[in-house]
Amino acid sequence: MKIWIDGALVDKEHAQVSVFDHGLLYGDGVFEGIRAYGGRVFKLKTHLERLLASAKSIRLTMHYTLRELEQAVRETVEANAASDAYIRLVVTRGVGPLGLSPFTCPKPCTFVIVDRIQLYPKEMYAQGMPVVVARRPRIPVECLDPSVKSLNYLNNILAKIEAIDAGVHEAIMLNTDGEVCECTGDNIFLVMGGRLVTPPTSAGLLNGVTRGFVMDTLAPVMGITVEERRFRIEDLFTADEVFLTGTAAEIIGVTKIDGEQFGDGSVGPITQQLMAEFRRRVSKDAPED
């Protein structure tokens, strides 16, 4: 495996980040998870624009332009002969002395990993997956804006531990007002009366790239209306269907919440249609913008 790190492709065994890097010491940095399908990098421009926006939000000065990062991703995909892959692009604050100040780090560290990922068992995409509602709330927007895809994922990890302890793969997270926010690594949608309903980003969630693809591309071409509005956990049980979206997860239906079967226990028809349309589009000619 080849890793791109600060302008050079190196073997996995030689890809090293300093123990004095503030990304390691303080979770100070940003990242993107990206997919490649059939040699095309899905929504690469959108991912890179989000990365640059995240970096700007935390006043992290990038040493590579969007075009240079695009080239780095493509070089790494090619070097690993990975036509279908999961890509992790990371920018840390870089090496600096101990202490919280980010301005003591003269240069960020940038690296690209190309590998594979399988968040959920394959059979769950056909049968649906059970989830739980996490007791731990999402960090409020006022404390840490989730539009910044930062290296600090401890809030999500602790909720993920709740899911694992309950014997499932995912947990729904609520904001501090008790409203449905997102899952530990995925966005959430309801199907209600033939339309899609999803929380607005102001509720405290990451504006996922796959979320946007469902809302802006898949739903319109399928004639499905999308509504962004706040809702609470009880609304999940009055919905016709529930599904999750994410770069690693793609689209997956939910069939059980906190042990309670959802609907008839099968993946709903609209979720199935969206999954099929997503698969058709990324398999044929995955959009890169």
Q: What DSSP string runs through the chain? A: -EEEETTEEEEGGG----TTBHHHHH--EEEEEEEEETTEETTHHHHHHHHHHHHHHTT---SS-HHHHHHHHHHHHHHTT-SSEEEEEEEE--B--SSS-GGG--S-EEEEEEE----S-HHHHHH-EEEEE-SSPPPPTTTS-TTS-BS--HHHHHHHHHHHHTTSS-EEEE-TTSBEEEESS-EEEEEETTEEEE--GGGT----HHHHHIIIIIHHHTT--EEE---BHHHHTTSSEEEEEETTTEEEEEEEETTEEPTTSS--HHHHHHHHHHHHHHHHH----
Which position among 149, 160, 256, 284 bears the catalytic label? Answer: 149
122 is catalytic: no
Q: Which residues are annotated as catalytic?
A: 149
